[in-house]
């Protein structure tokens, strides 16, 4: 019997037309505090499928994915699988969760017909906070994450929500 030398992979949607997913590229808004915090949280978790983060709308994103609507990638988190599949908005967030060790069942549950409307509301709420933060404080530089940075409170996987928003400076 011959063994397959390729790394063990999983499929997103068993039996689908897509080949196995071995890597996901996450296009995120690098100028958004909430987005950078989400990126750090995702990076800090063990990954079953490696996540690579590329700033949405950047030259690197445009070069790697010339067929995407890059203005849309700045509005909605967009995830591109190495097999060509593209997941945007709530599907992108669920793809990220699916890629993490210990969160695959949660992703499947949240993607179920019974739970997807709730997941969409939670994701829409996060998007509204992002829009409000941008309108209130403008774009922040990558070093100005002090009020959103909950790394100290996330060691056990239970992150605290900031009790106040950063002051515009």
Q: Please write the tens of the pLDDT for every residue from 99-118.
A: 999 999 988 998 888 988 88
**pLDDT bucket at 124, cuts 50 / 70 / 90:** confident
Residue 137 has pLDDT above 80, yes or no: no
Pick the most confident of 15-19, 48-52, 121-125.
48-52
- What pTM, to 2 d.p., does this model score? 0.69
Q: How far apart are CA 117 and CA 58, in angstroms?
A: 31
Query: Bigger pLDDT: 41 or 18?
Result: 41
- Could you state, in order of their start, the residue ranges of all structural domains in the chain? 24-153
Q: What number of other Cβ atoms are within 10 A of residue 18's Cβ?
A: 12
């Amino acid at each position: 019997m011959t063994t397959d030398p390729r790394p063990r992979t999983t499929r997103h949607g068993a039996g689908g037309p897509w080949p196995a997913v071995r890597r996901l590229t996450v296009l995120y808004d690098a100028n958004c505090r909430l987005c950078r915090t989400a990126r750090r949280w995702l990076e800090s978790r063990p990954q079953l499928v490696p996540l690579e983060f590329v700033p949405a709308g950047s030259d690197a994103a445009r070069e790697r994915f010339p067929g995407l609507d890059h203005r849309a990638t700045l509005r909605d988190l967009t995830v591109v699988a190495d097999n060509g599949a593209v997941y945007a908005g709530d599907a992108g967030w669920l793809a990220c969760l699916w890629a993490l060790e210990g969160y695959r069942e949660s992703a499947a549950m949240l993607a179920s017909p019974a739970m997807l409307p709730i997941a969409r509301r939670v994701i829409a709420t996060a998007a509204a906070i992002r829009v409000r933060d941008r309108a209130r404080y403008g774009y922040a530089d990558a070093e100005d994450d002090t009020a959103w940075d909950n790394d100290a409170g996330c060691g056990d996987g239970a992150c605290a929500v900031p009790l106040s928003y950063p002051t515009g400076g």
